[in-house]
Amino acid sequence: MNSFIRSHLHHWEAYVPGKQPKDLKIAPHHRIIKLNTNESPFILSEVSDRLQTLARSRSFHLNRYPDPSAEHLRATAGNILNIPQDHLVFANGSDEIISAIFRAYLGAGDSITLPSPTYGAYAVYSRLYNIKIEELELAADFLLSEENLTGTIGKVVFLPNPHAPSGNALAAKTLLSIIKKFPQKLFVIDEAYIDFNIKETLITEIANHPNLIILRTLSKAAALAGLRVGYAISRPDHIQILRKVLDPYNLNMIAQDLATLPFIHHKKIALLVQKIIAIRDKVTAELTTLGFKTIPSKTNFILTSPQNFTLHPKWTKLRLEKTTPPKNTTDTTNSLPKSLPSSKAQAQLLYSLLTEHQILVRYFPTPRLAPYLRITIGTERDMKRVITVLRSLQKAPKHQ
């Protein structure tokens, strides 16, 4: 064991991202459908156009450091969001702001409160910074209610709304009543998916609540996950301390420039959001007819369980044979599994079978989430393929 490393980091588990297409050892000509990290399936043509313009520009000086205050980006965003510039700070994804929140507000002896289950990065950083977690067990629909908030509540409460990874959402007024009830606690409301449920945003409430920080990202609806840009909206005292604990030149010049585009073209983003919502609702209905139970989603993904989905038993048998080679090679039993697998086993099996069909979705092997698959909404064509593959798994395999 390397004794230079801080001892608690030897067992620290870093964030486990969804599989990347390169992790699948398949021929490059195969089309991989990537539905495992809640990215947008769409590409903004304005972004590629701007990249080409920047490449040719003589006034874009990459030999210089970027503007540490990202003033132009904050002005552009503030204009569209109707928020003063000093209420905004930008970073490399909202993950970088989550990490900054730990540095700015949490020290020895402090704890944070998280709904359980929730987005993994909050717990990853809390273990990195040695901060205790108080968990709030969510009800069957994965929603938090005021009644959940009993017992010890940490100094900072992280709440994604809409909730990840279920997609369910609380009404703004429910959240506000929770925030008002605990004025001594700092609420970080993570609005990563709010574009899909925009009427429930809390950004208009910032001025009224000194204990509120809102997180946003350009990685989801804004279709810029590769750029790594997220931001916080809060009162200037919070913004100043976050700016102070972030690296001085955190956001590079290209990111500062391109990140203005989803704000400038916000009407186009809103249309893409509507398109994704329509595809989501259609695929949810199709999954219901196949026997899946889906948590009502207000995001660009769904959490769905194959509760009454009938996977053909031969797929289960084939898989068992693949993963557990027969100990006794003279054993010629050829019987199919006697009972249907539980939705937990079934979800895991479907995850592997979809992966084999070059469809990447997310499976979380935790007690609460194991009966589900989390599927990002892709293009209409992608989702048609998902349904076709699932239908084919209800029939016996063609080649054995």
Which residues of the chain form contacts with ligand PLP (CB under 6 A)?
38, 93-95, 119, 160, 164, 190, 192, 217, 219, 225, 230
Q: In whole angstroms, how close is the CB of 290 to ligand PLP at the nearest point?
A: 26
Task: Give min distance, CB of 365 to ligand PLP, in A.
Answer: 18
Q: With beta carbons less than 8 A apart as the criterion, state whether 250 and 91 touch.
A: yes
DSSP 7-54: GGGSS-----PPPPGGGS---TTSPPEE-SS---S---HHHHHHHHHH
Rg of the chain in Å (alpha carbons): 23
Question: Measured between alpha carbons, how far is 293 from 271 in angstroms, rounded to an integer?
Answer: 28
Q: Minimal distance in Å, beta carbon 230 to ligand PLP?
A: 3
Which residue number, 20 or 394, has a Cβ lying nearer to ligand PLP? 20
Specify the residue, 164 or 206, whose C-beta has the smaller distance to ligand PLP.
164
Nearer to ligand PLP (CB atom), residue 119 or residue 187: 119
Using CB atoms, what's the residue nearest to ligand PLP? 93
Shortest distance (Å) from residue 376 CB to ligand PLP: 10
Under 8 Å between Cβ of 268 and 368: no
| Residue placing its CB nearer to ligand PLP in the complex, 141 or 321 | 141
Nearest approach in angstroms of CB 49 to ligand PLP is: 23
Nearest by Cα to 293 from 157, 113, 166: 166
- Cβ count near 387 (within 10 Å): 15
Q: How far lies 364's CA from each of 120, 189, 246, in Å?
A: 11, 23, 31
For Cα atoms 147, 153, 159, give the angle at the middle one, nearest 5 degrees.
75
Which residues are within 8 A (CB) of 320 and not within 5 positions of it... i.e. 6 or more apart? 337
Choice between 300 and 316, CB closer to ligand PLP: 300
Of the pair 221, 353, the CB lying nearest ligand PLP is at 221
State the minimum distance, in angstroms, from the CB of residue 308 to ligand PLP.
Answer: 28
